[in-house]
Structure 1
């Protein structure tokens, strides 16, 4: 099932980090940083009030806000050179990249006034009170623990406070997953920072703001189809080596950026051991994606769902 089992020539110029894998599992999900029953909306209001009080200097013309780099969790080391960490940087909202049931993605340009340093970011903002329930959240939340019993009760009852917690937990979970996967060389966007329910991620696209296409938008054939398949298999093995599966894998959650496959939308990443339904999610992930590839012409002998599940189980130490 792995690429080296077939006569197939592919590029070998993957970055060195993509060759490193580290084993281990999440011992616990990171908990949102909060005190008492402060809601996310209250935190935003307090942060805005603090910013108004401390920042006497006006924003540069056309900027929407000062950089939020110093206000939340920051991405893993080593950071790419394009990440702007100066607190004097400003953000410009450029428009919507994607709208979804649980989150919207906006294009943000971060720049450092007086220099030519500019980076494009994807701002993924999770909703809370807008939606009473997150899409199939109950199954994904199994095996995730919160540190405070009152927070667990709020989540279970889906109170207003609980829904805010769920929104922040999704952001926390996705940021933690992306940080860990980036570190071991998985093909994921670099997670720049998390502040509350907002994630700032590497924008996968072009400098003119056009986003990389989803796999579902493409019609790869022949050698390209095979290469993308093997890249996906490699990525799934990286996840399995950490005891994880994507949890909602489909051609809609894969980007093709400059001819390379990239995994996106990982808030629901599933721990195969801690989640009682972990293997069910793994099987579903594999079946969904093998069905897509075989429907596009990939030989079933190459995209064998049962064989790939067995490989991933062995990689995860669950054979």
Structure 2
């Protein structure tokens, strides 16, 4: 196929020899299958911020660090340079998370290089060597669904023990290769200790797993693994070997109305940020 404009710099630099085909186009990037020497890999081309349906919400940016105070001020003011820095931070977040999680034993694609807004990484394949399907597109038996759910809970725990929360985990960003689930799409990954929304995001990630696999095992929808995992993490008791039950004790204190109001305020600020960004463009 014709080389897409965004991939031409990688071809010019000899990082990619041939663009074979487009694999998929999502809310934040378009992915191509490419040949690099004797290897077939994938190239993830990040979309410009104005083209993404997934916005860099304030709750995801919290806790992310930049190189110096000038960059931080520019990002806060939303200048052109600041928006460029936001894009770099957004893209580098995935590269950093992939290396960090691979080192922790999490099943993620192996990253090779991020160059000119393109992430070159391992192509995840099924048992026949074809591009692996997404979990949401796979039909499973009850036994397979239970096995995958247990495997994915372990991946979530490994991620959290490494200090990372995916932040957008669902059946659409989990691939299934010959050995089971592989977690992908991590530009929105957050630092568990540096983000006040980490607990809510972790619980949402785990709930999305239950929603996806609950099609085959409805009993999964009744369990509270997300709350249990975060409670153990907060108490310093979570390890990769922790045995989970999916049950937590009912709270003895009244509902935290202040927390609900804070959630509303965060949503309001994110919408204001989105409107400011649109007005600047």
- The answer to whether the 8 Å contact 1:175/1:194 transfers is yes
Task: Determine whether 1:241 maps to 2:167.
Answer: no
Residue 97 of structure 2 aligns with which residue?
A: 177
Residue 28 of structure 2 aligns with which residue?
A: 102
Return closer, same or farther for 1:304/1:208 CA change in 2, 3 Å cut-off. closer
- Tell me the distance in 1 between the aligned counterparts of 2:88 and 2:172: 23
Q: Residue deviations 1:256-305, cap 9 Å, x none?
A: 012410000011112121011111111111112212222332523xx654
Structure 1 gap segments, 5+ residues each: 1-43, 49-62, 69-89, 112-117
Written as runs of structure 1 = structure 2, the 5 A alignment for 1:66-215 is: 66-68=13-15, 91-111=17-37, 118-128=38-48, 130-131=50-51, 135-205=55-125, 210-215=130-135
Task: Determine whether 1:314 maps to 2:240.
Answer: no
Instruction: Flag the structure with higher helix content.
Output: 2
Return closer, same or farther for 1:206/1:239 CA change in 2, 3 Å cut-off. closer
- Tell me the distance in 2 between the aligned counterparts of 1:208 and 1:231: 22
Residue 254 of structure 1 aligns with which residue?
A: 174
- Tell me the distance in 1 between the aligned counterparts of 2:170 and 2:223: 14
Q: Residue deviations 1:219-267, cap 9 Å, x none?
A: 2122211111111011011011112211001100100012410000011
- The answer to whether the 8 Å contact 2:127/2:178 transfers is no
Greater relative contact order (Cα < 8 A, sep 6+): 1
Q: Residue deviations 1:34-56, cap 9 Å, x none?
A: xxxxxxxxxx9xx96xxxxxxxx
- The answer to whether the 8 Å contact 2:74/2:81 transfers is yes
- Tell me the distance in 2 between the aligned counterparts of 1:240 and 1:313: 12
- Tell me the distance in 2 between the aligned counterparts of 1:207 and 1:98: 20
TM-score, normalised by the number of residues in structure 2: 0.73
Return closer, same or farther for 1:230/1:209 CA change in 2, 3 Å cut-off. closer
Residue 193 of structure 2 aligns with which residue?
A: 273
1:136 CA displacement = 4.3
Task: Determine whether 1:221 maps to 2:144.
Answer: no
Return closer, same or farther for 1:258/1:267 CA change in 2, 3 Å cut-off. same
- Tell me the distance in 2 between the aligned counterparts of 1:235 and 1:153: 36
Return closer, same or farther for 1:119/1:313 CA change in 2, 3 Å cut-off. farther
RMSD: 2.9
Return closer, same or farther for 1:123/1:209 CA change in 2, 3 Å cut-off. farther
TM-score, normalised by the number of residues in structure 1: 0.65
- Tell me the distance in 2 between the aligned counterparts of 1:179 and 1:304: 34
Q: Residue deviations 1:129-186, cap 9 Å, x none?
A: 6538852432100111213233223323433333322222122111111011111211
Return closer, same or farther for 1:103/1:165 CA change in 2, 3 Å cut-off. farther
Task: Determine whether 1:292 maps to 2:212.
Answer: yes
- Tell me the distance in 2 between the aligned counterparts of 1:180 and 1:103: 21
Give the length in aligned residue pairs.
232
